Each structure stands twice: as structure tokens, then as C-alpha cells.
Amino acid sequence: MSAARTVWLTGLPSAGKTTIAQALVARLVESGRRAELLDGDEVRKAICGGLGFSRADRDENVRRIGYVADLLSRNGVWAVCAVVSPYRQARDELRRLHHGRFAEVWVSTPHEVCATRDVKGLYARQRSGDMSGLTGADDPYEPPLRPELVLPTHELPLAECVDRLWNELVAAHSELATTP
Amino acid sequence: MSAARTVWLTGLPSAGKTTIAQALVARLVESGRRAELLDGDEVRKAICGGLGFSRADRDENVRRIGYVADLLSRNGVWAVCAVVSPYRQARDELRRLHHGRFAEVWVSTPHEVCATRDVKGLYARQRSGDMSGLTGADDPYEPPLRPELVLPTHELPLAECVDRLWNELVAAHSELATTP
């Protein structure tokens, strides 16, 4: 029961990362596991005050959240992270930091669908010229090359996404971890 | 076994906070508990890049380390923090954040003794005019008013300090936690 991982959900704004992460954390806690949701927007306020949205600041943001996730998961607490994290190199560095405890999940909802959902109104603001540097609109997003899992939320219902996460990353991992 | 606390060691530079924290973490781990050392100097590099030593930046540093400590201790991982944390109000805020899981330990080694030990050469640099803003020399330190424990390292050997921490903060707390 004590082996945990960092589950890192990456994808465009409004791709569905936070919703999936919340559902996974709830299921982990229900099953008696320790788990924390590290949501990009929330953690930014807690430990990334002063950082902006340049590439350097985005990478530093990812690095800090990854540092906290590593502290948790190496102590048996599942760290479920929902962070845009647009740059491949920063995510790959987190994978190395975690020594095998890292699962990268690409929430692959395409730009057109995200821009229609537009949960926080960011795409509308970008289109109207009110903001710039929006990942997937006028700022780059580098998809994972070898993610542990791809979740196309535009093709699968939420429950199916969470089931896949559970079966492929939690259940399988727990069996491995308890094999002598 | 799962109830953990944040043990917050505050005091002047070279007071002995890190040495005591390392010994406590080793003992916690030996006893089968989960524990992490959050050392001020180390954590500063990890999540506080860009912060300096103004009051506002020191307080933000304390707040961030406290945020991480809270994440750990509420998940059963002992967070042992060695941080100068000179301002009372910032420490009191952490106590509130922790909802009873916070133990403030004043490592009360006086300035004269710390300046003689001068593990990192900071007191010498401050005397020579090479740096300013050194806590306890030319920057304020506000001692805790009601700490859970006071450790005068100039009067007690290290082993005795760690024994007191263990008996008063770990053993007593574990008994409380396992009482039905």
C-alpha cells in the first residue's frame, strides 16, 4: 500500500486535467491510499508567487511542483498533478528526478475543443487581444513523445478516463509493488 | 503510526537547528516512520529562487516551506524544518495552517555562542562589513513566546536535545494518537 507515484497530467488549458485529477484523487483516497492534488493554478499561488508565463518561469513553475510531488510520492503519498507544463524538457527532467515513480499522462484534447469549452475564459480573452501567451493558441505546446497514457477527453467520457488511469497506473503499479 | 507533525526548529544562524533536525529525522526513520528534513538553505534553492532576505521575502520563504511541511504532515509524513524564521507572526500563521499538527521548537543558542561557532562564516562576513542583514547581528530575531520546546544547545549535548524532542514531541504525540 505504501508505494506511490506522481501522476503528471499535461495538456492545453481546458483540456480536462483538473477534473480528471480530482476524480482520481477521490478514488485513491476512497481506496485508503494517501493522495494529494497539486493543481497548477493553486500551487502557483502557494509557492510560485512572482513567476510569470515566460518559458523560463513556466519551467521553474513545473520544477517546483515536481519537487513537491517527489517529496510526497517518495513517502507513499500519491501526487496527482494537473499542470499545463508545455515544454518537453522540463517534464523529462521531472521524470529523471522521480527515479521510476513518474507517470506522464497526456490529456490530448485538441485546441478546437479546449477553445470551445474555455472554462476560464482564457481563449476568448486571447482572441479579443486582451491577453497573449496562451498555450496552444499563441504559445507553444510540446506533446509527450512516450507518455504512460493518453486520454482524449473529446472521445472518452470522464468515467472512462478515470478508469483507464486507475487500471493502468494505480492497480497495475500496486500489483507490481506488492510482488515479492 | 500514521499521525505526524511538523516540527519547526527556529533560531539564529549556527544555533544548531540543522544538526538537531538531521538527528531527529534519522531517529524517526529508524523507528519506521516517514520523515523528511526541510532545511531552510536547501528548500530556498528548490522553491524560493529569487527571494532575498528582506522581511517580506523571509516571510514568503517561511510560508512556502510551511506549505510543503503541511502537505507532508497531514499525510502522515513527519516534516522536520530547520529555518531561521525570525518573525513571530509568520511562524504563528504556520501554526494556524497546521490545525494542531505544529510543534515550534526554539533552538535558543545565544548570539555570542552562534557567532563563535559560525559554521558558514556569516558572522565573520557581517563583522567585516562584507554582508548585512544577518539575523541576530544586524537583523531582528523574535523568539517564540510559547514554544512547545526550548533547546539551549549551549547547555545541553546534542543527544540530550534529540532525546527531549523525541520524548516530548514524538513519543507523547504517538501515544495520544493511538489512544482510541
Chain B positions touching A50 (Cβ under 8 A) are 50
Domain count, chain B: 1
Distance, in Å, from the CA atom of B81 to the CA atom of B173, rounded to the nearest integer, reads: 18
Question: Three-class SS string for chain A?
Answer: CCCCCEEEEECCCCCCHHHHHHHHHHHHHHCCCEEEEEEHHHHHHHHCCCCCCCHHHHHHHHHHHHHHHHHHHCCCEEEEEECCCCCHHHHHHHHHHHCCCEEEEEECCCHHHHHHHCCCCHHHHHHCCCCCCCECCCECCCCCCCCCEEECCCCCCHHHHHHHHHHHHHHHHHHHHHCC
As given in the structure block, the three cell numbers for residue A68 are: 513537491
pLDDT for the residue B1: 45
Residue A107 resides in a domain: yes
List the single residue in B with minimal CA-CA distance to A37. B71
pLDDT-based confidence at B48, cuts 50/70/90?
confident
> Over chain B, what is the mean pLDDT?
93
Contacts of B69 in chain A (CB under 8 A): none
A36 at B interface, C-beta within 8 A: yes
Look at residue A179 and tell me whether its pLDDT is greater than 60: no
Best of A48, A51, A71 to disrupt the B interface by mutation (most B CBs within 10 Å)? Answer: A71
List the single residue in A47, A67, A76 with the smallest CB-CB distance to B34: A76
Size of interface A-B (CB pairs under 8 A): 40
Cell numbers for B113, please give them: 555562542
Q: What is the DSSP letter of B167?
A: I
Chain A interface disruption, residue of B59, B68, B93, B97, most A CBs within 10 A: B68
Paired strand residues for B139: B135
In a domain, A28, yes or no: yes
| Predicted confidence (pLDDT) at residue A1 exceeds the cutoff of 50 | no
Residue B46 touches chain A, beta carbons under 8 Å: yes
Q: For the ranges A13-17, A150-154, B52-56, B87-91, which has the lowest average pLDDT?
A: B52-56
Q: Do B47 and A68 touch (CB under 8 A)?
A: yes
Dihedral angle over CA of B55, B61, B64, B65, nearest 10 = -130
pLDDT of residue B41: 85
Q: Across the interface, which of B49, B60, B68 has its CB nearest the CB of A68?
A: B68
Residue among B14, B73, B85, B108 flagged as catalytic:
B85
Cell of A33: 491510499
Region B146-167 average pLDDT? 96
Reported ipTM: the value is 0.89
Is position B24 within any domain? yes
pLDDT of A176 reads 55
Q: pLDDT band at B70, cuts 50/70/90?
A: very high
On whether any CB of chain B is under 8 Å from the CB of A67, the answer is yes
Q: Does residue B180 belong to any structural domain of this protein? A: no
| 8 Å CB contact of A72 and B75 | yes
Q: Is B85 among the catalytic positions?
A: yes
Distance from CA of A64 to the nearest CA of B (A): 5
- Whole-prediction pTM value? 0.92
Measured between CA atoms, how close is B76 to chain A, in angstroms?
A: 9
Cell numbers 526548529: residue: B9
Q: Which of A85, A108, A128, A132 is catalytic?
A: A85
Put simply, whether A1 touches B (Cβ < 8 Å) is no
Mean per-residue pLDDT for B14-23? 97
Q: Do A68 and B75 touch (CB under 8 A)?
A: no
The reply to whether residue B71 touches residue A72, judged by beta carbons under 8 angstroms, is yes
Residue whose grid cell is 491577453: A131
Q: At B161, phi and psi to the nearest 5? A: -60, -45
Q: What's the mean pLDDT in B99-110?
A: 97
Q: What is the CATH number of the domain that holds B16?
A: 3.40.50.300
B-facing residues of A in 158-177 (CB < 8 A) are: none
- What is the chain A residue with the closest CA to B75? A34
Q: Residue A153 domain-assigned?
A: yes
CA distances from A70 to A56, A146, B46, B148 (A): 21, 20, 12, 30
| Domain presence at residue B1 | no
Q: Tell whether A1 is covered by a domain.
A: no
Q: Would you say residue A21 lies in a domain?
A: yes
Task: State the residue range of the domain holding A73.
Answer: 6-178
